Structure 1
Amino acid sequence: MFKIVVFLILALSLNAKELMDIYRMEGIKAVEQELEKNLRDVNFWKKYLEKRNVEYGYYEYNKYVILAEKENKELSIFENLEDDYKLISKEKMIIGENSGDKLLEGDKKTPEGSYDLLQKKTGLDQFYGPFALVTSYPNSFDQSLNKKGHGIWIHGMPLNGDRESFTQGCLAIDNERLKSLDSNINLKKTVLITSHNELKKATKDDIAIILSSIYKWKDAWKYSNIEEYLSFYSKDFKRADRSDFNTFSNQKRQIFAKNENKTINLFNIDISPYPNSLDKTMYRVLMDEEYVSPSVQFYGKKELFVEVSNNKLQILTED
């Protein structure tokens, strides 16, 4: 904890003297409370992001972004250098035969959104080239919209040399470029963003709103403030099982009524732009969660799909 506090003091260098005075007078707990207050402040995050490029997202864990823009059929790989992005490569790709976002099994469309790469598959039919990288489509948001289909991969070209014109919905690139991509990224630290046309890039204002809102949401959750907690959720909220906001609200009211003491910590927050066919300004938030209460202990991933509208975060789906 002390190392974290020191890091945050350095990040808040303009307030370092004030924080040191608080530490001398009131102790480390008071410093922690002061820092937590800053994390809920959108202006703190705007200053924190001032010299940081967040066009392709904000990442504390992921190191690589693969951007697939379907209209111009280009696939770009970026390395996240913390304050900026380095373009590693850009190549042409082949996508699904039909345009638009994927909705149904067999519609021959390539999905639009933000996805993880789950595994590398080898020993496949020669049609897929040397191997395939499996994506996380359909994710929780896709499922909340009742989107169908599966098996969306990044793969190569047929080994027999017959270059295809389209895929069934996957993204396909030249075999040598696929091998190069694989050797230049860490599969487990990579996010894939697929966009219909040129990506609508993330803004610092949006990222600051999301980060400050996440810490406010976390505190409302921690202290069982049900009305404030639910205010972060869209009335259009749906889970992957398609249960709606009213169902979610009733469940949370029952849980919060216990007013249990809780420890909630969030780490490795990653925020990626989320292209979509709903005409919403959306982001996918993925983070490590530590949750401890008398009745539940959880250590794992928390995923939110959020909309930023009128300078406010609204959660559309949660997993």
Structure 2
Amino acid sequence: MKIIFLLLITLSLYSNDILTNYRINGIDNIEKQMDLELTKKEYWSNYIKDIDTTFGYIESYPNILTCNKEKSTLNLYRKDLNNTYSFKKEYSAYTGKIKGDKIKEGDLKTPIGIYQITKKLSKKTNLDSFYGPLAFVTSYPNTYDKYRGKNGHGIWIHGLPTEQTRDEFTKGCIAIDNTNIECLNRNIDIDKTLLIINSNEVQKNISKETLATILSQLYLWRYYWLFDDIEGYLNFYSDEFLRFDGMNFNKFKNYKTRVFKKVEKKTIIFNDINVLPYPNTQDTYYITFKEFYKSDTFKFTGDKTLVVRIDENKTMKIVTEK
């Protein structure tokens, strides 16, 4: 259906050329032409012009939690009927005893970054009463954390002790009072909630021009991948690239060169795309999406993460991926 929809749009713009191309070359050539249209910034600028980009380009998460460590607050934003992120609630929060970004296990710091909520814990799952009635487990360390050599685990959003006393700080978690953790539980679906933690105010009202640039280049990367242009594909990778499994750029280049030489017909579809500026960085963006990949010899469906930097030429450079 999506291909037909895009074809209709393209037909309305280039009907004579498209029909002639189809008449002479068939549907494969038309698909390639449409894939090329998706690489154009003009398409994405028009597509996102009326989309709320308060926190970035977000398809997957109607709920956004933002934590301002300096003010010790946790804020909930939720998409309303107009698909606009509306502020819903501010919770007072405890964060790590030590200021700064978490680097290693036991440093008593709350991490700065972008995280999913992976699990909910409660008394039914034998949650220790020290963490209150509920706890939400985050995805720390994420792909970018691991790229930078950060470690540790067990960063949660949780309540306050029901049977013990505690200090007014945590070992790295975000803690809110028990009434609020239960309120938060009623107001979010953990599978559709993203957590953004910053040292101070989380960046808002992200540039649509920048997002359109990144989205068009994401699809240009896909275009080179689809049509086995190894030079164009690898040009999107930083010399400092390190894949999640430790593969550096030179090994990755050799590996992909061998794969591209197969020249297989491929299907590559991206859904649930999210592009967010990474907290406390300049020109670094966290991109996630669902990828469907199929070729003659391989098939994959699953989550994909890219961390990219925008260089001085406004070109997206991938520093790590998973």
User: TM-score of the superposition, structure 2-length normalised?
Assistant: 0.89
1:156 lines up with 2:159 in the alignment: yes
Give 3-state SS (helix, strand or coil) of 2:217's partner: helix
Q: Which amino acid aligns with 1:67?
A: T
Contact 1:193 1:273 in 2 (8 A): no
Q: Which amino acid aligns with 1:206?
A: T
1:121 lines up with 2:121 in the alignment: yes
Equivalent position of 1:233 in the other structure: 237
Q: Which amino acid aligns with 2:102?
A: K
Question: In the aligned structure 2, how far is the partner of 1:102 from the partner of 1:57?
Answer: 24
Distance 1:293 1:102, change over 3 A: same
Give 3-state SS (helix, strand or coil) of 1:255's partner: helix
Question: In the aligned structure 2, how far is the partner of 1:69 from the partner of 1:31?
Answer: 48
User: TM-score of the superposition, structure 1-length normalised?
Assistant: 0.90
Q: Which amino acid aligns with 1:212?
A: S
Equivalent position of 1:300 in the other structure: 302
1:46 lines up with 2:48 in the alignment: no
Equivalent position of 2:105 in the other structure: 105
Q: Which amino acid aligns with 1:119?
A: K
Contact 1:128 1:156 in 2 (8 A): yes
2:247 to 231, 243, 247: 243
Equivalent position of 1:255 in the other structure: 259
1:220 to 217, 224, 235: 224
Equivalent position of 1:144 in the other structure: 147
Question: In the aligned structure 2, how far is the partner of 1:72 from the partner of 1:17?
Answer: 52
Distance 1:52 1:251, change over 3 A: same
1:203 to 184, 204, 207: 207
2:283 to 276, 281, 299: 281
1:224 deviates by: 1.5
1:55 deviates by: 2.2
Contact 1:140 1:239 in 2 (8 A): no
Question: In the aligned structure 2, how far is the partner of 1:110 from the partner of 1:22?
Answer: 56
Distance 1:88 1:293, change over 3 A: same
1:80 lines up with 2:65 in the alignment: no
Contact 1:74 1:90 in 2 (8 A): yes
Q: Which amino acid aligns with 1:62?
A: Y
Question: In the aligned structure 2, how far is the partner of 1:167 from the partner of 1:180?
Answer: 21
Deviations 1:40-60 (A, max 9, x none): 111221222223221212122
Tell me which moved more, 148-157 or 68-77: 68-77
1:163 deviates by: 4.9
Deviations 1:126-152 (A, max 9, x none): 111111111111112211111110011
Distance 1:37 1:80, change over 3 A: farther
Contact 1:5 1:32 in 2 (8 A): no
Q: Identity rate of aligned residues, in percent?
A: 38
Contact 1:260 1:293 in 2 (8 A): yes
1:24 deviates by: 5.9
Contact 1:42 1:212 in 2 (8 A): yes
Q: Which amino acid aligns with 2:88?
A: I
Unpaired runs of 5+ residues, structure 2, are none
Equivalent position of 1:17 in the other structure: 12
Question: In the aligned structure 1, how far is the partner of 2:85 from the partner of 2:309?
Answer: 24
1:56 lines up with 2:82 in the alignment: no
Equivalent position of 2:95 in the other structure: 95
Give 3-state SS (helix, strand or coil) of 1:151's partner: coil
1:98 deviates by: 0.7
Tell me which moved more, 55-64 or 34-43: 34-43
Question: In the aligned structure 1, how far is the partner of 2:84 from the partner of 2:321?
Answer: 29
Distance 1:35 1:78, change over 3 A: farther
Distance 1:124 1:230, change over 3 A: same
Q: Which amino acid aligns with 1:43?
A: E
1:170 lines up with 2:165 in the alignment: no
Unpaired runs of 5+ residues, structure 1, are none
Distance 1:162 1:293, change over 3 A: same
Deviations 1:17-56 (A, max 9, x none): 3256666664794765554333211122122222322121
1:266 lines up with 2:270 in the alignment: yes
Deviations 1:232-272 (A, max 9, x none): 11111112233321222121112212222221111111122
Question: In the aligned structure 1, how far is the partner of 2:14 from the partner of 2:88?
Answer: 41
Contact 2:56 2:277 in 1 (8 A): yes
Question: In the aligned structure 1, how far is the partner of 2:61 from the partner of 2:209?
Answer: 21
